[in-house]
Amino acid sequence: MRILVQRGMNATVSVDNRIVGKIDNGLVALVGFKDDDTIEDIKYLAKKLVNLRIFDDENHIMNKSVIDINGSILSISQFTLYADCKKGNRPSYVKAMKAECASSMYDIFNEELKKYNIDVQTGIFQTDMMVNLTNVGPVTILLESE
Active-site residues, by number, are: 80
Torsion angle of alpha carbons 106, 83, 14, 49, nearest 10°? 50
Read off the amino acid at residue 115.
K
Element spanning 8, H or E: strand 2-15
Nearest to 2 by CA among 33, 46, 44: 33
